[in-house]
């Protein structure tokens, strides 16, 4: 059966880098006999301009009906003056919320050809390939009570509460353990159980689940502050890291810079399998719409292309095709082609479409 894909290019460089994925899809259909049923729609500033809202309910319904969503990026400075309810960025927030996408997967992989692009020493990052799994719909960003209160003396206090339930912890830990089975088989669970009750429960639940169902995976635990330090000191000690919303936000941004380039990094956000057996899933590069370079044809399409490779692997279990794409990217980089963001001395500087074409050819 045709694989149903909803493609949402969005704003800025979104449509430019998405076009390069289109070439790969065509190649897969022609050369590998795969069949995709693709629907494309507007989100973000592009949707605001056409329909007056960042995302229509109709698009959310299409996302629910699709096997997977491939997202570009949203954000357009022309809408900076409008109120929060009309920000282009609401499109992605609403999609995550409506599809209950609770597990954000962010790989940080260093390509051999780009070892020098990292801000860390080559011998620290060479061969790095880790995956951070961040819980995204619970924790301190959403817990109650929250708010700003005025105290009797007229001063104020701001309140956020970290809340995690057994089932919230278990479902994200399950994603991490399942991933580890397809990788090097190691999970490091990160919290601050030394000072937080929610961290204590986190550790307990992960430990229990591991004992019950995942004894073949190697589980370790680490305090979040130590993990930040270890990620810089010796990142290759990790395989899969699983953590809550707040720590995951910080640690995944930190880890992304180990690779040195925003334009290279994909991500996936997964929900819970529904009654129909379908797992809602959205794939997107971690970068935004890059308004500063939009329309110039110089954006790096690799993060978007690798997001599509993740989609093939996780939503369709097309491991071989995912690998083909990742190898093609690696080989093209080794051949010396570079977009501006990853340019270094002696390399050949190319634009978005030359990079995309080279990857398809490879
Ligand atoms: P950004 O990621 O768009 O850009 C940061 C810097 O990296 C810019 O100098 C940009 O030119 C460069 N860059 C990013 N992706 C690149 C690529 N593929 N190739 C070459 N260079 C690249 O982040 P920024 O500037 O903070 O945000 C711009 C807009 O994007 C804002 O409206 C923001 O809200 C939105 N945004 C949207 C996201 C999403 O759709 N999930 C995520 C992050 C930001
Ligand atoms: Mg962030």
Q: What is d(CA 273, CA 34) in angstroms, rounded to the nearest whole number?
A: 24
Q: Enter the ipTM.
A: 0.97
Q: What is d(CA 130, CA 109) in angstroms, rounded to the nearest whole number?
A: 6
pLDDT at 79: 87
The CB of 92 under 6 Å from ligand 1? The reply is yes
The CB of 302 under 6 Å from ligand 1? The reply is no
Q: What is d(CA 5, CA 8) in angstroms, rounded to the nearest whole number?
A: 10
Which of the residues are catalytic?
A: 141, 192, 225, 249, 253
User: Is the separation of the CB atoms in 69 and 6 below 8 Å?
Assistant: yes
pLDDT at 265: 93
pLDDT at 136: 93
pLDDT at 350: 98
The CB of 265 under 6 Å from ligand 1? The reply is no
Domains of the chain by start residue, with CATH? 1-102+273-362 (3.40.718.10), 110-270 (3.40.718.10)
Other residues' Cβ atoms within 10 Å of the Cβ of residue 30: 9
Chain centre to alpha carbon of residue 121:
25
What Å distances lie between residue 290 and 71, 76, 93, 122, 287, CA to CA?
Answer: 15, 9, 18, 28, 8
DSSP, res 294: T
**Closest listed residue to residue 256, CA positions, set 209, 303, 223:** 303
Q: What is d(CA 50, CA 58) in angstroms, rounded to the nearest whole number?
A: 14
User: Is the separation of the CB atoms in 243 and 254 below 8 Å?
Assistant: no
Measured in Å, residue 39 CA sits from the centre of ligand 1 at: 25
Q: Give the residue ranges of the chain where pLDDT is below 50.
A: none
Q: Count CA atoms closer than 13 A to 168's CA, side-chain side.
A: 22
Other residues' Cβ atoms within 10 Å of the Cβ of residue 179: 21
The CB of 73 under 6 Å from ligand 1? The reply is yes
Q: Residues near 99 by Cβ (< 8 Å), separated by ≥ 6? A: 60, 63, 64, 69, 271, 280, 282
Sign of CA dihedral 257, 263, 265, 269: positive
Q: Residues near 24 by Cβ (< 8 Å), separated by ≥ 6? A: 305, 308, 325, 356, 359, 360
**Closest listed residue to residue 52, CA positions, set 67, 42, 37, 65:** 42
Measured in Å, residue 212 CA sits from the centre of ligand 2 at: 33
Written as six digits, the tokens of 49 are 């301009």
Could you say which ligand is closest to the alpha carbon of residue 250? 2
Q: What is d(CA 20, CA 22) in angstroms, rounded to the nearest whole number?
A: 5
- Residue nearest atom 33 in ligand 1 by C-alpha distance: 75
Q: Angle at CA 36, nearest 5°, toward 32 and 42?
A: 140
pLDDT at 278: 87
Measured in Å, residue 147 CA sits from the centre of ligand 2 at: 22
């Amino acid at each position: 059966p045709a694989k149903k894909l909803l493609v949402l290019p969005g704003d800025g460089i979104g449509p430019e880098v998405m076009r390069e994925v289109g070439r790969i899809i065509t190649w897969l259909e022609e050369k590998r006999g795969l069949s995709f049923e693709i629907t494309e729609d507007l989100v973000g500033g592009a949707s605001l301009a056409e329909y007056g809202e960042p995302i229509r309910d109709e698009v959310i319904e299409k996302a629910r009906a699709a096997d997977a969503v491939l997202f570009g990026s949203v954000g357009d400075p022309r809408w900076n003056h409008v109120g929060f309810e009309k920000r282009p960025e609401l499109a992605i927030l609403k999609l995550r919320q409506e599809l209950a996408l609770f597990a954000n997967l962010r790989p940080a992989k260093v390509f051999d050809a780009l070892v020098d692009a990292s801000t860390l020493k080559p011998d620290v990052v060479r061969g790095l390939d880790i995956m951070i799994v961040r819980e995204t719909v619970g924790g301190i960003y959403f817990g109650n009570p929250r708010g700003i209160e005025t105290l009797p003396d007229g001063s104020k206090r701001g309140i956020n509460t970290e809340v995690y339930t057994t089932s919230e912890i278990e479902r994200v830990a399950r994603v991490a353990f399942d991933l580890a089975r397809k990788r090097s088989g190691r999970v490091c669970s990160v919290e601050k159980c030394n000072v937080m009750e929610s961290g204590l429960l986190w550790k307990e639940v992960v430990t229990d689940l591991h004992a019950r169902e995942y004894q073949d995976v190697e589980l370790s635990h680490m305090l979040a502050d130590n993990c930040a330090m270890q990620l810089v000191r010796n990142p290759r000690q990790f395989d899969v890291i699983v953590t809550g919303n707040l720590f995951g936000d910080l640690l995944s941004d930190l880890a992304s810079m180990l690779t040195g380039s925003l334009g290279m990094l994909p991500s996936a956000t997964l929900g819970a399998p529904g009654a129909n057996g379908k797992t809602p899933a959205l794939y997107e590069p971690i970068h935004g719409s890059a308004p500063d370079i939009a329309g110039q044809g110089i954006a790096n399409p690799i993060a978007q292309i690798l997001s599509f490779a993740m989609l093939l692997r996780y939503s369709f279990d097309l491991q071989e095709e995912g690998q083909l794409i990742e190898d093609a990217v690696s080989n093209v980089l080794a051949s010396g082609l570079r977009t501006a963001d990853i340019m270094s001395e002696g390399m050949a500087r190319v634009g978005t479409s030359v990079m995309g074409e080279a990857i398809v050819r490879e």
